[in-house]
Structure 1
């Protein structure tokens, strides 16, 4: 399955935003409109922090199964802590994904107005360096995400800070993913074909083969393999809805490796950038034209939209 052609997604340098914000925004927006994906180098997340995060991730998933399951919150929808292997299923899929993961969310001060809709974090006792590393990495992803949202706003002819109030104290999720070794007779794939729920996803770890996007232009699957250290960024369904499909949320998947790599684990770290729970996802007027009528006439809060989708992918049982 890994002989798919490579997607011609351009690699852009986020550093150019400082000197040519309009140019970066145009290139970033064009990649989103064509593929729903972009590759971003020079994103500002320190390489040494990323290396520490990979080390902590591997130590976490190497813990005994019983210990990991002790951090699973029954009925929590996978919002925080551990979600066991073969739990999540892609929308409309017939078999579950071959993965386990851990969610780190935003740390809120006591009494915060979102405390009733954003669960507190679950921190493992082991590995000991886990909490400080991932608090630091979450903040770094937050900063990179703000810069990318500013570019999206420019591309949409909005003020560069348009998204700032939308994502302040947003319900973003840092997911640590482990795809264990796969037996030859495994049913299903590491991650079935799906779209992301959020505004944008910032992904580290896609250098390891397996990530593919569905090209809307011709219906072919295309592989994505960014340069080492670069991140893959993609449009989520909330942004697609907000922009009336001008920026499309593209179907993607993680396919199983070839036989010689089936004995190896795969790790990745997506940061699902979400707005605040009470943010109203309402079609931007500038995206409604005679040729693109309003596809989403009924607004919905980010919290309600997220709940609907978590039910669809099996993390919340109704």
Structure 2
């Protein structure tokens, strides 16, 4: 496997933006987010308002679930859904273009819908009966809702940055097919040659908000072709652009390639946990390039619109979660 090339300049860092600006100086919030995303596709959010005790409780409950034996966890694997809900076992998901699966297992939680909802064919019900870990579903739904609210604040600013009304995304994500993914990267197994915790990839959705990841390893691919470490301070949320928003914005907001590399040998025995929230639009939202992002200098890269659900299904097949 080709050794990682990592940027040596320690001063190069993903920018940090405070959510306090959202209420105090929205114009600066828009400017700072837009500048960071156009440069890196990533930003670190501080003072985000999500209760740290809630985050700690969710992480503790998640660790308890992944500590269950394989037979127990696999009871919660739902066949035919491409991992959309419940448990996906270790060594299943494969990064687009990779030859070997990632070194991870994960749990998926989505939006609860009332019976008979128009989106129920594309947004299946959650698995709520994890009897082995008390409070597992409840606390993770609280995290889902908190990150959904935070993500909508970010999208308000990005709408303005893209020369749209501030409320542009409000009726396009209010029932979005968003996912909270709870990931466990176990200690690196002895037979892991040529495999990594998460291969280089881009996210499918509009934006991703990441909690946890106290154990390092997250890197983004810079425009100079070198890898940059992403090490958010404790208690912060890392937020990056996904492919759907890159497409909608005609690449004004880039969906940056990123990965989770394996730790050095002396830390290979330490597991890693994280909680990314993939904020998706409503399944029937049509991704059509914004006119404000098209010009003679930047012609439309995507003249053919596509629904967000159709795009999602294509990508799930590419990463081998669906056949």
Q: TM-score range by the shorter chain?
A: over 0.9
Conservation of the 8 A alpha-carbon contact between 1:101 and 1:175 = yes
Counterpart CA distance in 2 for 1:300 and 1:252 is 25
Alpha-carbon offset, residue 254 of structure 1:
0.1
For 1:270 and 1:36, locate their aligned partners in 2 and report how far apart those are by CA, in whole Å. Answer: 16
Provide the residue aligned with 1:49 in structure 2.
54
1:160-179 to 2 correspondences below 5 Å: 160-179=166-185
- Residue 209 in structure 1 maps to residue 211 in structure 2: no
Contact 2:4/2:227 (<8 A) preserved: no
CA drift at 1:136: 1.0
The 8 Å contact of residues 2 and 257 in structure 1, kept in 2 or not, is answered as: no
CA distance in 2, matches of 1:169, 1:3: 40
RMSD over aligned CA atoms reads: 1.2
In the alignment, the residues of structure 2 paired with residue 29 and residue 14 of structure 1 have an alpha-carbon distance, to the nearest angstrom, of 14
Aligned length: 316
Local SS of the residue matching 1:18: helix
Q: By how many angstroms is 1:10 displaced?
A: 1.1
TM-score (norm 1): 0.97
Q: Is the CA contact 2:214–2:272 (under 8 Å) kept in the aligned structure 1?
A: no
1:194 corresponds, among 186, 190, 201, to 201
Shift of 1:24: 0.8
Structure 1's unaligned 5+ residue stretches are: none
Q: Which residue of 2 aligns with 1:241?
A: 247
Counterpart CA distance in 1 for 2:303 and 2:104 is: 36
Query: Which of 61-70 and 7-16 deviates more?
Result: 7-16
Cα shift at 1:206: 3.1
Which TM-score applies when normalising by structure 2?
0.96
| Distance in structure 2 (CA, Å) of the matches to 1:180 and 1:2 | 21
What are the superposed Cα offsets for residues 238-259 of structure 1, whole Å, 9 maximum, x if unpaired? Answer: 0000000000100000000011
1:186-243 Cα deviation digits (max 9, x unpaired): 1300000000000000001133210000002x10011000111111100000000000
Runs of 4+ displaced beyond 2 Å: 1-7
Q: Counterparts of 1:220 and 1:290 in 2: how far apart (Å)? A: 30
- Secondary structure of 2:254's match? coil
Paired residue for 1:71? 76
Q: What is the deviation of 1:185?
A: 4.2
